[in-house]
């Protein structure tokens, strides 16, 4: 076979100086340099543009892309320990360019392949004629863990099993694109493709607009429209079903939910009533008609699928049997990812479509057949040997799959025996030989192996291919290093058009009728997390204020055993904060809890708010390692206070005033009311030492108001008046309660036909008590009872909206 | 043989259950030529807010219960009249294991009764080298698949002690095998693992067994129990044959079948997801009474 780039071996390509050192691998085709050693047209334009920018500007541009990703909080989760850590998104800055003609071939091939997969899966879960005709071995179905028997005979309500698929492609030594694997279960990465695009165009906006790069938004718009059309037909909502925030691609689920305006749902958000799927919202159960699932099928229903699933919805399979929910993709489609199936696709295409596959796939031999088994054994050293029923891509499967020649001789004999004894469990595959593309490393471009992930969606016009995708770039020449879990990177994919491209946005265009969507219902779980986010953020603020007052006095008096300090430390102790620690663990725990609550609802507030909160957490953790009590701690608390105010500002000034914001606000007001009432009680008691009043006003951020309002008669009574009963002081208990009462009345069912809900009644009761009280009435006992009553109010809200 | 079967399952919950869903598989099904269900009724107390039935992949009858209201117990009652044919065990016309292997590979079907579903590991039965070895040892020299299955059935009866304290419903076949103890569920699972290990398709049957009181003693009410045994695919000609390793016999007119699957997980009497913090106590009573 002729190698595409033989002639160029060793010879530096002519052209832009940035590629002067670009050395190709012998025998490996390259995306940028053609077999004759010439730079391809689109690439020459890109490289010339890089040259024009110069090395310093180019580096600055790429840094801008990284900065964007950091600011947007793009991450994925990497599993290297018990619990994965969030990692920054590894963007390879140079986009992969694909010419229009190449792309048309890929597109046509993938549309054909999607149709073939649909026909195969409909048969597997339907009449099973493919097995009866000998086109598909029964073992590959019956012994397959992805063959979900409860779904046999369950026809998808939409009429189709597949709606959204991904394909992993590589360019082989002959220059043609090959299919390396099909993703039909719950393909990931489409959202990351979008983020790659945004980040790359931040860096290269001028070049991007000059190069006629095809846009991605139209693809997402068409798919979204189809989802909503399907849902409208059935009268319910559209959601993305996510396994939750510990999943490696949770960021992407939240991102797509925000981008397309879908509800982000977890299994426990959903219930099945009378065979219908409902989402538990703060306004009661609401019907759901379409679920775009990012959860592997067997986890979706603990009753009929995996009994040990903790992230499922009992009864989901029953709902599918009733045809009341459309699952994107249908449960059971994961069987299409089975590696051994690749061996049968060419024949299936011939029989079912009457023609050849437009895009070939890597040659695969299933050892469950005698002839094929012999071929694998005869060519053992030159084939990738792996598990037949694996659904991972050959180069992602680092434990189970290896090149025959790389298997140590002491293990080889045993493996050969196993293949002979239970051949059905093994496949041999042609080793993946990938093309290279330029990646930017330390100011230079180097060729690295790449694979291309392309997405297909079923839209009103049938199968549509995303004009772009996401390229995985190896971290070295080794093709097995492509997996991101092993340090590979991801690059944007630019599909070049010969004509100027049409600009598409998901926002309505001029001339289109403006439709204001009714705000979606808030899932109860999200509301619960919002309340707790509000509460923890406020608890942090209260704690920080008290710690600042404490440390300021410690610095001034330099003796920790003075009455005012021990009195204050006793209060801190009651909220699990140890005043002797410069940066107490109790405070760090509250910050962690706030971050955890926020992490569950990433789709509900802005990336800026999330980053501010993370910044707060990092700062506090850094302080914990070096801050000393006294002056140093006082200054540190001031820094934390400003960061907390920054978070609150970002969230409260930017959140749309609907149910979500209301619950966040409830959390904040509840916590502040409780904290103020308790510290008031503690610092106005008979045993309160000298200096308590000043400390109270400082903690309550009311020193100036107090001076202005009570210049003559300042004392305990005036402090109580200002911090408990003043309706105009935004730090008073009454102010919080008035706000709480107003918000609770506006919640679903808050006032129904003039009837107050039990939470609204309780809030009104507390507010009325405060409005008619005199400062003298507000004894420490009364204040403590009030704090307890407000705690009860929180329970009433929880009982009404979260159960 | 005509039987009246009565089953009562009682679940007592430690803490109030605020809702739950269950799949119930206790109602016998008609199997042409083997048994015919004359009448069958299932009742539940408290009454579920929703109840429906469907037929699962293997052909078993499943009742779905949904509870929304708080409750602290669940009673399941089955009464059924079942006619069981008094079939003579078939003559051994089954092939050798080598021929069986060829027959399986020519069996192009994934219908529910296809042997392909019953050859590899299933949710509750992993293939284990030790059990496979045991299967090889005790079937050595047997000329046919049916003879091999019979040999394994007899060997388990001989080598294992019936001991209801030694295992529980979650015990894995490998554990029961190591103990050489257990109850009908364990024996069935071990036999299934052994048969599959030596290439014979095998599944799990759940049902009832009529017991005969010791001579001179009266029959005790509720003394019978739910029972489990094994079905093995003995080739194209003979098909599925049921073996009872607990009683060292081929299942006959005293065996009333509820249904079958790859293992216990496919045909467990009750599967449930409950909203509760506590656990539960179970009691069970079964009566199998011969009517004529």
Whose tokens are 């010879």? That residue is: A11
| Average of per-residue pLDDT across A234-253 | 86
> Are A723 and A702 spatial neighbours (Cβ–Cβ below 8 Å)?
yes
> Nearest CB to A128: which of B64, B110, B271?
B110
Identify all chain B residues contacting A272, using CB atoms and an 8 Å cutoff: 21
- What pLDDT is recorded for position A514? 52
The reply to whether residue B271 touches residue A307, judged by beta carbons under 8 angstroms, is yes
Nearest chain B Cα distance for residue A132, angstroms: 5
- A209 SS3 class: helix
User: What is residue A58's predicted lDDT score, i.e. its pLDDT?
Assistant: 94
Of B50, B117, B265, the CB nearest to A274: B50
- Same domain for B254 and B141: yes
Question: How far off is chain A from B154, nearest CA to CA, in Å?
Answer: 27
Provide the token pair at B107: 């069996």
Q: Which of B54, B108, B119 sits opposite A321 (nearest CB)?
A: B54
Q: Nearest C-alpha of chain A: how many angstroms from B3? A: 31
| Strand stretches in chain B, DSSP E | 2-17, 20-24, 35-45, 50-55, 61-67, 71-84, 161-162, 181-182, 202-209, 226-233, 240-244, 249-250, 255-261, 270-274, 280-290
How do the domains of chain A map onto residue ranges? 1-13+20-213+336-362+432-501, 216-328, 523-655, 657-803
Mean pLDDT of A255-282: 91
Q: Does B271 contact A139 at a Cβ distance shorter than 8 Å?
A: no
Closest residue, chain A, to B197 (C-alpha): A422
**Nearest Cβ partner for B23 among A133, A149, A303:** A303
Task: Report residue A289 as tokens.
Answer: 């008609």
Considering the domain boundaries, does residue B90 fall inside one? no
Structure tokens at A621: 């953790």
Query: In this complex, is the C-beta atom of B120 within 8 Å of any C-beta atom belonging to chain A?
Result: yes
Question: Would you identify the CATH topology of the domain A216-328?
Answer: Rossmann fold (3.40.50)
| 3-class SS of residue A353 | helix
More confident residue, A550 or B280: A550
- pLDDT tens for A308-333 read 888 999 999 999 999 999 999 999 99
Three state DSSP letters for B166-214: CCCCCCCHHHHHHHCEECHHHHHHHHHHHHHHCCCCEEEEEEEECCCCC
Which chain A residue's Cα is nearest to B123? A306
Distance between CA atoms of A707 and A715, rounded to whole angstroms? 11
Q: Taking CB atoms and an 8 Å limit, are B54 and A152 in contact across chains? A: no
Which of A138, A143, A149 lies nearest to residue B109, judging by beta carbons?
A: A138
- Whether chain A has a CB inside 8 Å of the CB on B51: the answer is no
Tokens of A274: 């009378």
Contact B116 A138 (CB under 8 A): yes
**Interchain CB distance below 8 Å, A128 and B109:** yes
CA distance A315 to chain B (A): 8
Instruction: Say yes or no for a CB contact (<8 Å) between A303 and B66.
Output: no
Same domain, B213 and B280: no
pLDDT of residue A512: 55
Cβ atoms of A335 and A324 closer than 8 Å: no
Q: How confident is the model at residue A82 (pLDDT cuts 50, 70, 90)?
A: very low
Dihedral pair phi/psi, residue A778, rounded to 5°? -85, 70
Give the pLDDT of residue A549. 94
- H/E stretch holding A96: strand A91-98
Task: For residues B74 and B112, state if they share a domain.
Answer: no
Cis peptide before A565 (omega within 30 of 0): no
Q: What does the alpha-carbon distance between residue B225 and residue B4 come to, in Å, rounded to a whole number? A: 14
Residues of chain B with Cβ-Cβ distance to A275 below 8 Å are 52
A636-640, B122-126, B167-171, B276-280: the lowest-pLDDT one:
B276-280
Decide if B214 is inside a domain.
yes
pLDDT bucket at A7, cuts 50 / 70 / 90: very low
Predicted local confidence at residue A247, as pLDDT: 81
The confidence score (pLDDT) of residue A578 equals 94
Nearest CA in chain B to A127: B111
Percent of chain A topping pLDDT 90: 65
**Residue A125: which of A160, A95, A91 has the closest Cα?**
A160
For the cut 60, the answer to whether the pLDDT of residue A483 exceeds it is no
Question: Which of A138, A324, A331, A388 best tests the B interface by mutation, with the highest count of B CBs <10 A?
Answer: A138
Judge whether A358 and A349 are in contact, CB under 8 Å: no
Q: Is the pLDDT of residue A4 over 50?
A: no
Residue-wise pLDDT for A651-703, tens only, equals 888 777 778 889 999 999 999 999 999 999 999 988 899 889 999 999 988 88
Nearest residue of chain B to residue A136 (CA atoms): B108
Size of interface A-B (CB pairs under 8 A): 56
Q: Give contacts of B66 with chain A, Cβ < 8 Å.
A: 273, 315
3-class secondary structure, B45: strand
User: A303 vs chain B: nearest CA distance in angstroms?
Assistant: 6
CB B173 within 8 A of CB B190: yes
Q: Report the residue of B19, B59, B60, B110 to disrupt the A interface, i.e. the one with the largest count of A CBs within 10 Å.
A: B110
User: B199 in contact with A at a CB cutoff of 8 Å?
Assistant: no
Mean pLDDT on A358-369: 94
Q: Of the ranges A11-25, A120-134, A527-541, A610-624, which one carries the lowest mean pLDDT score?
A: A11-25
Subunit contact B108:A318, Cβ cutoff 8 A: no
Q: Is residue A486 over pLDDT 90?
A: no
Per-residue DSSP letter, A39: B
> Do the chains contact at A143 and B64, CB–CB below 8 Å?
no
pLDDT higher than 60, residue A402: yes
The alpha-carbon gap from A638 to the nearest alpha carbon of chain B, in Å, equals: 44
A25 by Cβ neighbours in 10 Å (0-12 / 13-18 / 19+) ranks as middle
Question: Distance between CA atoms of A425 and A339, rounded to whole angstroms?
Answer: 11
At A513, is the pLDDT very low, low, confident or very high (cuts 50, 70, 90)? low
Supply the pLDDT for residue A79: 54
* CB A395, CB A479: distance < 8 Å: yes
Q: How confident is the model at residue A2 (pLDDT cuts 50, 70, 90)?
A: very low
Provide the sign of the torsion angle of the four alpha carbons B77, B79, B85, B87, taken in this order.
positive
pLDDT at A77: 67
Cα A495 off chain centre by: 26
Instruction: Label residues A304-340 b or e (16+ Cβ within 10 Å = b).
Output: bbbeebebbbbbbbbbbbbebbbbbbbbbbbbbbbbb
- Torsional sign, CA A576, A581, A587, A593: negative
Closest in A133, A142, A272 to B116, CB measured: A142
The answer to whether the Cβ–Cβ distance between B110 and A307 falls below 8 Å is no
3-state secondary structure A651-680: HHHHCCCCHHHHHHHHHHHHHHHHHHHHHH
When pLDDT is averaged across residues A748-761 and rounded to a whole number, the result is 87
Q: Which residue of B has its CA nearest to A128?
A: B110
- Do the chains contact at A128 and B54, CB–CB below 8 Å? no
Domain presence at residue B91: no
A350 CA: distance to closest CA in chain B (Å): 20
Where is average pLDDT lowest: A97-111, A246-260, A773-787?
A: A246-260
Nearest to B199 by CA among B235, B244, B229, B239: B235
Reading the block at residue B253, the tokens are: 């007119």
Residues in chain B: 292
B60 and B108, same domain (yes or no):
no
Collapsed DSSP state (helix, strand, coil) of residue A603: helix
Q: Tell me, what's the pLDDT at A714?
A: 67
For position A733, what pLDDT does the model report?
96
B27 and B126 share one domain: no
Q: Does B236 touch chain A (CB under 8 A)?
A: no
E strand or H helix that includes residue A464: strand A462-465
Query: B57–A152: do the CB atoms touch at under 8 Å?
Result: yes
Q: Check residues A174 and A371 and name the one with the higher pLDDT.
A: A371
- What whole-number distance in Å separates Cα of residue B181 and Cα of residue A704? 81
Q: Which residue of chain B has the CA closest to A370?
A: B105
Chain mean position to CA A457: 20
Say how far apart CA A313 and CA A267 lie, in whole Å. 5
Q: Do B108 and A304 touch (CB under 8 A)?
A: no
Same domain, B273 and B228: no
pLDDT band at A769 (very low <50, low <70, confident <90, very high): very high
- Please indicate, yes or no, whether residues B173 and B124 belong to a single structural domain of this protein: yes
**B40 at interface of A, judged by CB pairs closer than 8 A:** no
B49 and B10 in a common domain: yes
Q: Give just the sign of the alpha carbon dihedral A197, A200, A202, A205.
A: negative
DSSP conformational letter for B125: B
* Overall average pLDDT of the B7-29 stretch: 92
Tokens of B137: 């040892």
Range of the domain at B68: 2-85+269-290
Q: Which residue of A131, A273, A315 is in closest CB contact with B109?
A: A131
CATH number, residue B34: 2.60.40.2250
Contact B116 A139 (CB under 8 A): yes
What's the rounded mean pLDDT across residues A94-116?
A: 96
Contact between chains at A141 and B116 (C-beta distance less than 8 A)? yes
ipTM score assigned to the predicted complex: 0.95
Q: Which residue of A has its CA nearest to B124?
A: A307
CB contact under 8 A, B57 and A131: no
- Please check whether residues B241 and B109 belong to one and the same domain: yes
Tell me the three state secondary structure of residue B291: coil
pLDDT number for residue A374? 96
Using CB atoms, which residue from B23, B58, B108 is nearest to A138? B108
| Residue of chain B whose Cα is closest to the Cα of A149 | B57
Q: Is residue B292 very low, low, confident or very high in pLDDT (cuts 50, 70, 90)? A: confident
Percent of chain B with pLDDT over 70: 98
Complete edge-to-edge strand list for the sheet that includes strand B71-84 = B35-45, B71-84, B2-17, B280-290
Q: Give how many domains chain B has, as a whole number.
A: 2
Q: Measured between alpha carbons, how far is A636 from A625 in angstroms, rounded to an integer?
A: 12
**Is residue B112 domain-shared with residue B80, that is, in the same domain?**
no
Q: Are residues B211 and B107 in the same domain?
A: yes
Put simply, the answer to whether B108 touches A152 (Cβ < 8 Å) is no
**Residue whose token pair is 């109010």:** A793
Predicted local distance difference test score (pLDDT) of residue A509: 57
Mean pLDDT check: name the lowest of A12-26, A284-298, A381-395: A12-26
Q: Are residues B44 and B109 in the same domain?
A: no
Q: Compute the distance between CA of residue A469 and CA of residue A484 in angstroms, rounded to an integer.
A: 16
Q: Is residue B92 one of the residues assigned to a domain?
A: no
CA distance A633 to B251: 80
Is residue B174 in some structural domain?
Answer: yes
Query: What pLDDT shows up at residue A147?
Result: 97
pLDDT grade for B7, boundaries at 50, 70 and 90: very high
Q: Which residues of B261-278 are buried (b: 16+ CB within 10 A; e: fewer)?
A: bbbbebbbbbbbbbebee
Comparing B87 with A331, which gets the higher pLDDT?
A: A331
Mean pLDDT of B90-95: 92
Separation CA A164–CA B171 (nearest Å)? 41
Contact B109 A318 (CB under 8 A): no
Beta strand A91-98 with A489-495: parallel, antiparallel or unpaired? parallel
Q: For residue range A195-243, what is the model confidence (pLDDT) as tens digits?
A: 999 999 999 999 998 999 999 999 999 999 999 999 987 778 999 999 9
* B23 interaction partners in chain A (CB closer than 8 Å): 303-304
- Number of other CB atoms surrounding residue A791 within 10 Å: 13
pLDDT reading at A518 higher than 60: no
- Which residue spans within A253-350 are E strands per DSSP? 263-265, 270-273, 276-281, 284-293, 326-328
Q: Once rounded to an integer, what is the mean pLDDT over residues A535-544?
A: 95
- The end-to-end CA distance of chain A, in Å, is 67
Tell me the nearest-neighbour CA distance from A143 into chain B, angstroms. 6
Quote the percentage of chain B above a pLDDT of 90. Answer: 77
How does strand B20-24 pair with strand B61-67? antiparallel
Coil, strand or helix at A411 = helix
The rounded distance, in Å, linking the Cα atoms of A455 and A465 is 6
Mean pLDDT, chain A, integer: 89
More confident residue, A24 or B223: A24
């Amino acid at each position: 076979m002729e190698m595409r780039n033989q002639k160029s071996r060793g010879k530096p390509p002519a052209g832009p100086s940035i590629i002067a050192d670009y050395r190709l691998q012998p025998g490996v085709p390259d995306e940028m340099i053609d077999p004759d050693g010439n730079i391809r047209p689109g690439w020459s334009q890109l490289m010339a543009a890089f040259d024009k920018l110069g090395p310093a500007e180019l580096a600055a541009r790429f840094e801008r892309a990284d900065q964007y990703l950091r600011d947007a909080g793009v991450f994925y989760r990497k599993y290297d320990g018990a619990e994965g850590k969030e990692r920054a998104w590894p963007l390879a800055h140079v986009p992969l360019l694909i010419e229009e003609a190449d792309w048309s071939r890929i597109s046509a091939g993938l549309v054909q392949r999607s149709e073939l997969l649909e026909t195969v899966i409909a048969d597997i879960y339907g009449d099973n004629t493919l097995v009866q005709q000998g086109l598909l071995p029964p073992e590959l179905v019956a012994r397959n863990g992805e063959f979900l028997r409860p779904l046999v005979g369950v026809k998808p309500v939409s009429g189709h099993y597949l709606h959204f698929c991904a394909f992993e492609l590589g360019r082989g030594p002959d220059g043609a694109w090959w299919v390396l694997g099909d993703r039909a279960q719950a393909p990931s990465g489409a959202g990351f493709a979008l983020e790659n695009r945004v980040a790359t165009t931040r860096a290269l906006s001028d070049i991007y607009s000059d190069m006629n790069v095809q846009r991605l938004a139209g693809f997402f718009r068409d798919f979204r429209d189809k989802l909503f059309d399907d849902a409208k037909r059935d009268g319910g909502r559209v959601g993305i079903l996510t396994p939750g925030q510990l999943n490696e691609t949770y960021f992407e689920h939240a991102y797509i939910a925000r981008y397309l305006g879908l509800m982000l749902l977890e299994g426990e958000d959903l219930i099945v009533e009378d065979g219908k799927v409902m989402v538990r919202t703060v306004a009661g159960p609401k019907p759901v008609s379409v679920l775009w699932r990012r959860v592997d099928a067997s986890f979706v229903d603990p009753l009929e699928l995996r009994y040990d699933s903790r992230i499922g919805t009992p009864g989901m399979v029953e709902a599918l049997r009733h045809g009341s929910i459309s699952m994107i993709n249908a449960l059971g489609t994961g069987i299409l990812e089975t590696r051994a199936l690749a061996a049968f696709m060419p024949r299936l295409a011939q029989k079912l479509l009457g023609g050849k596959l437009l895009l070939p796939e890597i040659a695969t031999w299933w050892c469950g057949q005698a002839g094929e088994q012999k071929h694998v054994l005869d060519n053992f050293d030159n084939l990738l040997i792996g598990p037949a029923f694996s659904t991972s891509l050959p180069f992602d499967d680092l434990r189970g799959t290896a090149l025959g020649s790389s298997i140590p001789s002491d293990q080889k004999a045993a493996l050969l025996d196993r293949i002979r004894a239970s051949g059905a469990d093994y496949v041999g595959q042609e080793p993946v030989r990938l093309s290279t593309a330029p990646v930017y490393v330390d100011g230079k471009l180097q060729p690295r192996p790449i694979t291309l992930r392309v997405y297909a969606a079923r839209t009103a016009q049938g199968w549509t291919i995303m004009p772009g995708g996401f390229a995985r770039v190896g971290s070295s020449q080794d093709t097995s290093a492509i997996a991101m879990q092993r340090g590979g990177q991801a690059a944007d994919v630019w599909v070049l058009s010969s004509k100027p491209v049409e600009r598409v946005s998901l926002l309505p265009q001029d001339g289109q009728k403006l439709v204001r969507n009714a705000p979606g219902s808030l899932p109860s779980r999200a509301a619960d997390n919002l309340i707790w986010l509000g509460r923890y953020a406020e608890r942090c603020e209260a704690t920080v204020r008290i710690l600042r007052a404490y440390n300021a006095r410690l610095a001034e008096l330099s003796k920790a055993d003075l009455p005012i300090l021990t009195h204050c430390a006793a209060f801190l102790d009651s909220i699990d904060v140890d005043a002797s620690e410069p940066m107490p663990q109790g405070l760090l725990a509250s910050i962690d809890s706030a971050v955890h609550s926020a992490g569950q609802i990433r789709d509900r507030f802005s990336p800026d708010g999330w980053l501010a909160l993370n910044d707060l957490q990092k700062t506090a953790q850094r302080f914990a390692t070096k801050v000393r009590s006294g002056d140093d701690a006082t200054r540190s608390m001031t820094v934390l206070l400003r960061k907390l105010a920054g978070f609150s500002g970002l969230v409260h000034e930017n959140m749309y005033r609907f149910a979500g914001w209301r619950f966040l606000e409830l959390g904040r007001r509840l916590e502040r009311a409780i904290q103020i009432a308790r510290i008031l009680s503690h610092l106005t008691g008979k045993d309160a030492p000298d200096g308590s009043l000043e400390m109270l006003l400082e903690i309550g951020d009311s020193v100036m108001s107090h001076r202005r309002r009570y210049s003559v008669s300042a004392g305990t009574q005036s402090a109580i008046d200002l911090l408990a009963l003043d309706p105009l002081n935004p730090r008073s208990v009454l102010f919080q309660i008035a706000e709480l009462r107003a918000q609770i009345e506006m919640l679903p069912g808050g006032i129904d036909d003039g009837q107050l809900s039990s939470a609204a009644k309780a809030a009104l009761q507390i507010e009325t008590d405060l409005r008619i009280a005199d400062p003298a009435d507000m004894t420490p006992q009364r204040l403590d009872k009030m704090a307890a009553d407000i705690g009860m109010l929180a329970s009433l809200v929880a009982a009404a909206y979260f159960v | 043989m005509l039987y009246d079967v009565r089953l009562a399952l009682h679940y007592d919950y430690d803490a109030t259950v605020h809702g739950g869903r269950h799949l119930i598989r206790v109602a016998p099904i008609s199997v042409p030529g083997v048994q015919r269900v004359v009448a069958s009724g299932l009742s539940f107390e408290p009454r579920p807010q929703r109840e429906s039935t469907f037929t699962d992949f293997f052909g078993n009858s499943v009742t779905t219960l949904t509870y929304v209201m708080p409750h602290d117990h669940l009673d399941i009652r089955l009464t059924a009249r079942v006619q069981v044919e008094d079939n003579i065990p078939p003559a051994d016309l089954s092939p050798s294991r080598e021929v069986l292997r060829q027959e399986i590979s020519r069996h192009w079907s994934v219908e529910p009764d296809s042997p392909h579903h019953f050859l590899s590991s299933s949710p509750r039965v992993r293939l284990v080298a030790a059990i496979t070895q045991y299967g090889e040892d005790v079937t050595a020299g047997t000329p046919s698949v049916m003879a091999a299955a019979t040999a394994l059935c007899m060997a388990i009866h001989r080598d294992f002690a019936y001991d209801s304290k030694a295992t529980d419903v979650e015990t894995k076949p490998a554990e029961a095998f190591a103990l050489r103890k257990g109850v009908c569920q364990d024996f069935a699972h071990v036999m299934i693992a052994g048969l599959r290990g030596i290439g014979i398709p095998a599944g799990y049957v759940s049902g009832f067994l009529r017991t005969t009181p010791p001579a001179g003693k009266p029959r005790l009410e509720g003394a019978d129990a739910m029972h489990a045994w094994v079905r093995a695919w003995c080739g194209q000609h003979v098909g599925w044959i049921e073996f009872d390793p607990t009683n060292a016999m081929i299942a006959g007119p005293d065996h009333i079948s509820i249904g079958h699957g790859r293992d216990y997980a496919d045909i467990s009497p009750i599967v449930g997801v409950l909203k509760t913090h506590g656990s539960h106590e179970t009691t069970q009573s079964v009566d199998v009474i011969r009517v004529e």
